[in-house]
Copies of this chain bind each other. A is one copy, B any other.
């Protein structure tokens, strides 16, 4: 096997006693790899900091609640559930207020413009519409750009990366949370074609994280009794519950929310977490249900029938037969193709925006305004293209519509007529979806109307998603998909017996499947949105077909965005070229070591010259018989030790003595962005010559791999166990007891292929359709 060891490795094999007694002091900047990637939002990546179970697993602070006493266990379990309850409660209130605000702001806007149009004052109506949209967009863009740039966009890709172990500071903070809520309300109300689900997921996660940290330390809003969860794992679990609550609150889909968090968001999952996420969304469902009961009695202003009220497409006598299957399959195939095209275009547009956005804040706000103006013009201008339709005689609804919600907008039409395009486009997204899903309205829309609406939605939603404001993707995809599906249903005409509303539903499913590529969670979200179980086999079929078709072209929309943002996401499977390498092939030296008794000066030097977050601890003669690996110590703990100045004049073991100086709290994981820096600690020369006993503060059970372990298996281990550091030990006697340390970056394709460029060709060939070169326009 020794012929496989690459040059770097043979260097570290050269460690002898001399090199071990004096830690190597040369700087080693592995984390600079990350800066070579372009971060397309204003988020500073700090990717080495990641989730781990390792933290505080030293003698001093054994962090497992199961070892505690009965009362402490009870307290811990109770706090976990209490926090979930609080998350559910707050997220449902936020979600409800969000919806209420949107319905009222957008409602007032539409009522005023409609009234002006009824009075024939079209130019004033346009001016009001245009200016209110512009000012709402401007508000959202300004608070996002100046206060919390991390609140822009959907937020789901960032959270997915966070739950995979990537800390992006600012993603989860009080400021981001407030901007996200305010920005989402004004962006959605401003008639931009942006969604609310992504922002709700982000808001839910922020709320969960803030509660888990015990409030926001930056603003002094902290509650001691809430600061119960000192480790990443508990916080990550809370954030997962928060994201489930977000979907539950956005769509009133509690089970769908849990499954979304499970399928799309989280990288690790336990049955206990499933159970708590379920509890959280149950709280959301019950509170929302109670609040809606209040609103149904008419106390909520213009709170309409869209959004939180289900799109009820139930029909007791749905019957579909074998003849309906071929058109539905076709719908799925085309939906898959459109969905992947949507992803492709969205990815490109976001990359273009990213290039513009880095230039200055003015550009970003300018783009937002341009999109708003363009949208207003389209929404107001397009309905003039549609011809007026006479009101149907047998409808249960008023025609033309009086007030805000309704299928038959009058727009510019003469009395007794309605403008079918205006019913869709000159409306909130929720109401447009409701109209598309409405039953027994097969003759309401013209072919040209539906086609225009579909094309507008398709492109407008792509363009709008890059705006510097909270902008979700779920609702735009549903609107686009539903219009596509309904158009297909209209084309089929009398060849099918299914009502057009079912085609709209299946179209939405196919477009969601083609763009989001989820299965079970989408299926349940659609069920919960539409309250229709009998169509389940059809929806499953469409989702399967569209996902399969779309997967042959490109990836999941959130993964594409995450990739474009350069997050070091650890995939669940190892790439094949990793099988051809051993861990020794990617470990880059020289290795930074600490000793069980280390001079303060050496520690300060190591901390100042490297950016590593963990260091192996070695015991050597005369403190042990032969050199052996004691464990792993974290940078944060070293800094805490230096700050507390628990120095020794001579290198002797301290026992119970050590624990008197420290509180467990000091070794707890800090909230994001609250990290102490080595530069802030000033030590005298005398202190620099003293010693620290690291033993009680070292994690004595680090995970290790043998140096001949295949990189693929090490990568699986790293991913599955949620590690942050993985020590490499020799497989042969007569060697230093540790030969290297692996971090997240050592498993990134760029790092590995940079070291071994010949392996580029052995990347996993997914069965994907590749466009011939001349078709590659971007």
Contacts and interface: CB of A to CB of B under 8 A. Distances in A.
Contacts of A737: 731-733
How many copies of this kind of chain does the complex include? 2
Given A575-B66, A729-B706, A729-B731, A533 B537 contact: no
Contacts of A576: 64, 66-67
Contacts of A70: 765, 767
B1 A630 contact: yes
A285 B547 CA distance: 18
B706 A716 contact: no
B732 A628 contact: yes
Interface string A729-742: 10111111100000
Contacts of A259: 259, 520
B73 A544 contact: no
A269 interface: yes
Contacts of A627: 732-733
Given A66-B576, A274-B263, A717-B717, A285 B520 contact: no
A630 to B, nearest CB: 7
Nearest to A316: B314
Nearest to A539: B282
Interface in A264-285: 269-271, 274-275, 278-279, 281-282, 285
A278 B520 contact: yes
Nearest to A281: B540
Contacts of A504: none
A627 B531 CA distance: 67
Contacts of A64: 576, 579, 712
A74 interface: yes
A581 B767 CA distance: 48
Interface stretch (A193-201, A404-412, A447-455, A696-704): A696-704
Interface residues of A, number: 92
Nearest to A631: B708
A591 interface: no
B734 A626 contact: yes
Given A520-B255, A572-B270, A767-B70, A731 B544 contact: no
A589 to B, nearest CB: 19
A629 interface: yes
A436 to B, nearest CB: 20
Contacts of A706: 629, 701-702, 704, 729
B579 A629 contact: no
A489 interface: no
Contacts of A254: 536-537, 540
Interface stretch (A42-50, A203-211, A354-362, A522-530): A522-530
A274 B630 CA distance: 41
A690 interface: no
A289 interface: yes
Contact of A544 (B263, B271, B279, B716): B279
Contacts of A735: 733
Contacts of A720: 720-721
A438 to B, nearest CB: 16
B74 A767 contact: yes
A290, A293, A701 interface centre (most CB from chain B within 10 Å): A701
Nearest to A310: B533
Contacts of A77: 767
Q: Which 9 A-B pairs have the closest CB atoms?
A: A282-B540, A628-B732, A67-B576, A701-B710, A285-B537, A278-B519, A629-B731, A66-B764, A66-B576
15 contacts: A1-B628, A62-B579, A64-B712, A255-B520, A255-B540, A259-B520, A282-B537, A282-B540, A282-B541, A310-B533, A528-B533, A626-B732, A629-B731, A701-B706, A733-B737
Interface of A: 1, 53, 57, 62, 64, 66-67, 70, 73-74, 77, 254-255, 258-259, 263, 269-271, 274-275, 278-279, 281-282, 285-286, 289-290, 293, 310, 314, 316, 321-322, 519-520, 523-524, 527-528, 531, 533-534, 536-537, 540-541, 544, 547, 572-573, 575-576, 579, 582, 624-631, 700-706, 708-710, 712-713, 716-717, 720-721, 729, 731-737, 762, 764-765, 767
Given A527-B527, A703-B705, 13 more contacts: A70-B767, A254-B540, A263-B271, A285-B537, A314-B316, A524-B524, A531-B533, A624-B732, A700-B710, A704-B705, A704-B729, A717-B721, A729-B729
